[in-house]
Chain A
Amino acid sequence: QVQLVESGGGVVQPGTSLRLSCAASGFSFSSYGMHWVRQAPGKGLEWVAVIRYDGITTYYADSVKGRFTVSRDTSKKTLYLQMNSLRGDDTAVYFCARDRDMVPTNYFDYWGQGTLVTVSS
């Protein structure tokens, strides 16, 4: 069965960096686009970034562009989110999610359990 497991969250100070990981299993990881979506405490969902199956094509929300980098390691079946210059408004639960189809649809059919990132001094 499809499983996505995030890790790497924690409490960090403003201006510092953090890398999140999302370990995938139960499907052909190299064939699907993968997304990051976040949710600030008590708030709604915000799409953050996507990396297509090719590992090259990426898109970002304006709020993170230039600070966050999404990447993937097909051999490890792992998705990453490198977060630099973190700010207080980056505080959120970060979910990784799979694109529904091998052809990009930008619907998210499987989600991880989320990992909490808290940016605070």
Chain B
Amino acid sequence: DIQMTQSPSSVSASVGDTVTITCRASQGIRYWLAWYQQKPGKAPELLISAASSLQSGVPSRFSGSGSGTDFTLTISSLQPEDFATYYCQQAASFPYTFGQGTKLEIK
């Protein structure tokens, strides 16, 4: 199985800050990576697929990059509604594994 490792596990930031979350795959997955946002008690929402393709309706302050084994999610100019938990997920081969999550908290 492909292991997905996110860092950091949690991060504190203020409204208006820029935050970067990283995700590393245990083997190369080319660009087969997605990012999801999950708020407490809710289902995850797809933000980015194919490493850098923004899902329709997702604000442009979210961006993704990377390929192979190393990927990043960057959130610019943080808004109050962005404080949530973020997961990466590899879609290259089953089982389609997720990272352990990164909790973004208000400082």
Contacts and interface: CB of A to CB of B under 8 A. Distances in A.
Interface residues of A, number: 21
Contacts of B79: none
Contacts of A45: 36, 38, 44, 87, 89, 98, 101
A97 B91 CA distance: 14
A106 interface: yes
Q: Is the interface of B mostly helix, strand, loop or mixed?
A: loop
B34 A107 contact: yes
Given A105-B91, A109-B55, A47 B98 contact: yes
B46 interface: yes
A6 to B, nearest CB: 10
B63 interface: no
5 contacts: A35-B96, A44-B99, A45-B44, A95-B44, A113-B42
